[in-house]
Amino acid sequence: MKKLIICLFAILTVSCSLSDDTETTYIELLPIESATVPEEFVRGETYDILVRFKIPTECHAYKDIYMQTEIGSVMIAIMSTVYSGDFDCPIINTDNTVEKSFTFKPLNQDLYVLKFWLGLNADGEDDYLIFEVPVVD
């Protein structure tokens, strides 16, 4: 029994590091640079919407496409995971444009307003690239 307690104590001591090398992550929205949207939707059909954005640093990683839906409009942005800790996050100087797509299926509305988040403007307010897309039967 003594050997078991000593063994467990040794494992717990080794596995509990007190170093400050902790890495944390948080979610950050990235601005969309451009989007490819059809001129009209046919009700009930599914469409692939293409968005382009840049990854700003080596500490950013694409996570998902964020969509907030209201009646008749959809706000779209890019979610990234940001790794932070006691390390550098160099800016990516090469062409770091990424393309992702998501599916969209218009249902009941006759017009959809797609608002792609461009970031904050000079006044600190949200800025959008807006497409008003009619829905036909």
CATH code, domain carrying 76: 2.60.40
* 67: in domain: yes
Q: DSSP per residue over 31-97, as a string?
A: -EEEEE--S-EETT--EEEEEEEE--BTTEEEEEEEEEEETTEEEEEEEEEEEESSS--PBP-S--E
Q: How confident is the model at residue 93 (pLDDT cuts 50, 70, 90)?
A: confident
pTM comes to 0.77
- Give domain status of residue 12, yes or no: no
63 vs 100: CA distance, rounded Å = 11
Residue 6 belongs to a domain: no
Question: pLDDT grade, residue 13 (50/70/90)?
Answer: very low
Number of domains in the chain: 1
Residue 47 lies inside a defined structural domain of this protein? yes
Average pLDDT, the chain: 85
Q: Per the domain annotation, does 126 fall within a domain? A: yes
* Domain extent for 38: 23-87+95-136
Alpha carbon distance 112, 130 (integer Å): 10
Q: What is the pLDDT of residues 115-128, one digit of tens each?
A: 999 999 999 999 99
18 falls within a domain: no
